[in-house]
Structure 1
């Protein structure tokens, strides 16, 4: 993407400015959802009852997305303000320079957050299936995402021996394509296995229990579609040699935590609605509003298989 003549769409400086604006909007939503997630898992709960693993993962996602937002702001400010008159070639050449440290850091954060997001989905899949064999292939693919991600970041940090400054033609392009393709495949496979298991269990339960499970299935599918759509858009933009790749790659960063937070928030909200509906709106609110979230199960009379404690989701 370094060569603006070979790319289609926006100029690199305009694409970078658009990316920071759109990322900022989505980041704002992710912050609100992070606060909601923290409230759900800590409100009126004793310290020993707090779901520490979920809190830790949610916090780590928040820190990574915040770090990327800060680095991106500095990167855009450097290109459009600080070095616009001193960098040879101007802002367009600055944003096209793959060797810029901030650009490399941005992509390193992207790799870390992608690995964390894919790992969460794989773990949820294991919790539902309760079988290591089911997640063997997703785990192998997750390792592929890690390898390609590391190679991508390393390649970006090294001068291109071919001398090409085109982001879409140099050696980095193959690692980018492999990284995005593998993370899409890993997410779709893990989410598909997760949705299939829930759907199979749903077929064997009564109508009463089914009404509790449908929202769980819907929210997991929605989260998978949201992330996959963002990743696919990045891949398509890159294949088409479009500067929109800059925009979509930055938008993936806040989308990952949003997809994670929405699972817990929507399940908790759905349960509260069901609780008030079952009590006619006059029942006293549960002292621990998330307690039910930890015991949402997809039991069958014979199998006894459950979605599991949401602290493991």
Structure 2
């Protein structure tokens, strides 16, 4: 089986260039995520698990682009005149340690990103039964991804990535990842939409959680479009899959960051919706009765209404933006 599409050396230059551009966007969004997680928050209130995930996604993206730049320097400069086949031969040799390293980082980034979506799905639904199928699919991604990287490590210099059984393991990994992302994101968006719809009868304003649903679907669509295009190129044995795989690493980080930033912006602008007063008779005098109803709050996707009432003015029970 032979590959088609753009030459491997050209594909590497294009993939590294596009990845650098996307990485720049991801750095800016990582800074926004750090702000979202720490703005007006005490140290003990910062959501540590989400912070760790954000940092890991950033570090893996950084490591991946460093490996790609190092690999480009090797293929285009160091071994340009000495490697059999020139730069195209170097980038087509999957036995290179840099090749195995970058794909191992891609595997880690994918598993981490998919795991976060499944975790969010569990938090929103508050039941483990909903995430059984996504979790099984995620486990399948682990198995197929590790198997693919194992075959890459055992490949000979004449092996290309599209041949069996390596190509079958990679295809299975990408398909499982696509299905996991579609299913988990769909369940997450559906649950938030149901909560928003059911609470519409007691909502004091027209504000809804649909912007959160939209950003979740936008993130899922961005990631899924990259994966589907990668799968099509891979099934067609097209070298364009190299470009898309490298682009997918920062895209995964961007998709994660955009959700957190959107939730943080929503929380920062959330305030009490309405206050009303009533009177009650006590010992012949009127005592004010005040109730404050606060807008829908979100804790990593979990929604609730905070309602507080007492005989004297009270404050709204709106959750801190630190707790994501």
TM-score (norm 2): 0.82
Match of residue 186, structure 1, among 180, 201, 207:
180
Task: Name 2:33's counterpart in structure 1.
Answer: 37
Taking only aligned residues, the RMSD between alpha carbons, in angstroms, comes to 2.5
Q: Which has the larger radius of gyration?
A: 2
Match of 2:212 in 1: 216
Structure 1 residue runs of 4 or more that deviate by more than 4 Å after TM superposition:
207-210, 273-278, 292-297, 308-313
2:166 corresponds to: 172
**Corresponding residue for 1:298?**
303
Task: Report if the CA contact (8 A) 1:19-1:251 is conserved.
Answer: yes
Distance in 2 (CA, whole Å) between partners of 1:174 and 1:147 is 13
How many Å separate the matches in 2 of 1:312 and 1:125? 17
Question: Which residue matches 1:198?
Answer: 192
Supply the distance in 2 between the matched residues of 1:60 and 1:295 (Cα, whole angstroms).
18
- Aligned mates of 2:172, 2:241 — CA distance in 1: 15
Structure 1 segment 147-162 matched on structure 2, within 5 A: 147-160=143-156
Instruction: Give the alignment of 1:220-231 within 5 angstroms.
Output: 220-231=216-227
Q: Which has the higher helix share?
A: 1
Give the TM-score normalised by structure 1: 0.85
Structure 1 window deviating more from structure 2 (208-217 vs 70-79): it is 208-217
Per the alignment, in what secondary structure is the counterpart of residue 212 of structure 1? coil
Cα displacement (A) at 1:39: 1.2
Aligned counterpart, 1:11: 7
Q: 2:103, 2:149 within 8 Å by CA — same for their partners in 1?
A: yes
The answer to whether residue 113 in structure 2 is matched with residue 117 in structure 1 is yes
Question: Residue 51 of structure 1: which of 29, 47, 50 is its match?
Answer: 47
CA contact under 8 A between 1:16 and 1:246: conserved in structure 2? yes
The structure-2 alpha-carbon separation of the partners of 1:257 and 1:108, relative to structure 1 and needing over 3 Å to count, comes to same
CA contact (8 A) 1:296 1:310 kept: no
Unaligned residue ranges in structure 2 (runs of 5+):
275-296, 307-318
Q: Quote the residue 2:264 is aligned against.
A: 268
Q: CA deviation at 1:169?
A: 2.1
Matched with 1:77 is 73
User: Following superposition of structure 1 onto structure 2, how do residues 90-169 of structure 1 map, counting pairs within 5 Å?
Assistant: 90-160=86-156, 165-169=159-163
